[in-house]
Amino acid sequence: MDFEFRDTPKLAKFRKEVRAWLDLHIPMDFEISDNPHDVLPGSIKYEFIRAARRKLGAKGWLAPTWSKEYGGGGLSEGEAWVIGEELAQRPWSRFGTGDFFRNNILTFAPQLYTLGTEEQKKRFLPPILKGEVIAWEGSSEPDGGSDLAAAKTTAIRDGDDYVVNGSKLWLGSQFDNADYIRLVAVTDPKGGRHRNIGLFLVPIDLPGISKVRVPMMRNCHTGGWQIFFENVRVPVEYLIGGHENATNAWRAISGTTRVRQISVLYMESTLRDRNQEFVLDYCKKTKHNGQSLSRDPDVREALVEVEIQLEIQRLFGLRQNWMTMTGKRLVGYEGSQTALQGKVTATKQADAYADILGPAVLMKNPEWALFEGNIEYQHFVPVAHASAGITQEVNKALMARWVCRAGD
């Protein structure tokens, strides 16, 4: 089966248009730091990404396949693919590009669309899909993240408000400030499991919300946040779908969890891996005991193993794309499989680079860091990514459900 994406004449024309627009607004030679640690608000990179995000949003290219009515581009899957592919080739790190497609648009917007009232959709979707506002995902808690139904944060109705108490952990790892928290909370502590969960869009500046930084390996400079809710009065208009929809909230959340796994496909995964390109080049140019590192049999074996894993990941990415384009079943084990392969590949890549490059993989200061800190970032990110979103074990459990379902 050939999953490779090919432009039709119409798409080739569209690609030219996209490229010309990107050359103006996100030019190839724009001097933006490639350092993945350089993401704090106020930094050129952070401000540039936010501004670019808004420009893309205004054009409808941040959520290309969403209808224009809700702030999307009203474009086809093919056009969306072209935009993603062209964006992924712009000169910034994987961190920067992924953000254009992350949680707000891939996870929260579908939940809002599925569950929200028409009034809420018209009010909240456009600013999200146009990249004007950012919502942090408030799902995980100090006592656990995989099982959302075990959430302890409560939101109890009191007049026209819900009073929220509890705490959420690991928020904001992609952007250091937000306008809203997309909150999962228990609306009826005595209600049945899975039937007592509400989904809220909570303005972050409500009285009673406080936050502390939590160091995270993945974002060494920024980390994430733990958010505390102390008698926070959230007006009922921010409960997505209204109280009577609490049962549906669970369906919307668990449904988009699977969608998110499918969406783990970022365009980068179908392109050549930039870190691998760097390491291959480095090994060809760097001599050890009078010969290039790339002539060493152990180095060659490690590099080939990474190549194989990256190619499998690329093929899974292309398959996901092919499934979307051809209208194949979208909610199967394939999303989890792609996500799992991404996590496994990154871990193997980090191990291989540590074997080949030694302590250099631990350096992030500009004087010693390889590839502007990307290799150091690559070394630590798989540890965090192993549990980010959905853990490897839970991805396997989701796949097992599909693979074994005939016997259930």
Q: Is 297 exposed, middle or buried (0-12, 13-18, 19+ CB in 10 A)?
A: exposed
The one-letter amino acid code at 308 reads I
Cα torsion angle, 218, 148, 343, 142, sign: positive
Residue 140 CB, nearest approach to ligand FAD (Å)? 3
CA 323 to chain centre: 20
By beta-carbon proximity to ligand FAD, the closer residue of 169 and 325 is: 169
Q: Give SS3 for 262.
A: helix
Cα dihedral sign for 20, 79, 85, 48?
positive
Read off the tokens for 86.
Answer: 């062209």
Residue 173 makes contact with ligand FAD by CB under 6 A: yes
| Binding test (CB under 6 A) with ligand FAD, winner from 47, 146, 231, 301 | 146
Q: Note the helical H segments in 33-187.
A: 44-59, 77-88, 94-98, 103, 109-115, 118-129
Q: Is 393 in the site for ligand FAD (CB under 6 A)?
A: yes
216 belongs to the binding site for ligand FAD (CB under 6 A): yes
Residue 254, interface with ligand FAD (CB under 6 A)? Answer: no
Please tell me whether residue 360 binds ligand FAD under the rule CB under 6 A.
Answer: no
Among 40, 212, 304, 397, binds ligand FAD (CB under 6 A): 397
Q: With binding defined as CB under 6 A, does residue 344 bind ligand FAD? A: no
Contact 228, 210 (CB under 8 A): yes
- Of 376, 400, 342, nearest to 38 by C-alpha is 376
Q: How far apart are CA 220 and CA 185, in angstroms?
A: 29
**Distance of closest approach, residue 64 Cβ to ligand FAD, in angstroms:** 24
Q: Which of 87, 128, 171, 350 binds ligand FAD (CB under 6 A)?
A: 171
Output DSSP code: residue 239.
Answer: B
Shortest distance (Å) from residue 248 CB to ligand FAD: 20
Question: Closest Cα partner for 109 from 66, 151, 139, 138?
Answer: 66
CB of 174 to ligand FAD, least distance (A): 7
- Residue pointed to by tokens 């490690």: 302
Q: If residue 319 lies in a helix (H) or strand (E), which one and from where to where?
A: helix 297-325
DSSP percent split of the chain into helix, strand, coil, nearest 5: 55, 15, 35
145 sits near ligand FAD (criterion: CB under 6 A): yes
* Nearest distance in Å: CB 206, ligand FAD: 18
- The pair of structure tokens assigned to 295 is 């002539």
Cβ-contact 378, 305 below 8 angstroms: no
Query: Does the footprint of ligand FAD cover residue 389 (CB under 6 A)?
Result: yes
Give strand ranges (E) for 111-177: 135-138, 154-158, 161-171
Rule CB under 6 A: is residue 138 a binding residue for ligand FAD? Answer: yes
Q: Is 342 in the site for ligand FAD (CB under 6 A)?
A: no
Q: Does 394 bind ligand FAD (CB under 6 A)?
A: yes
Q: Which of 144, 191, 215, 366 binds ligand FAD (CB under 6 A)?
A: 144
Q: Which of 35, 93, 139, 349 binds ligand FAD (CB under 6 A)?
A: 139
- The least distance separating ligand FAD from the CB of residue 158, rounded to whole angstroms, comes to 25
- Does 218 help bind ligand FAD (rule: CB under 6 A)? yes
- With CB under 6 A as the contact rule, which of the stretches 4-12, 48-56, 132-140, 362-370 interacts with ligand FAD? 132-140
Stretch that binds ligand FAD, among 136-144, 226-234, 270-278, 292-300 (CB under 6 A): 136-144
Residues lying near ligand FAD in the complex (CB under 6 A) are found at 136-140, 144-146, 168, 170-171, 173, 216, 218, 224, 384, 387-389, 391, 393-394, 397
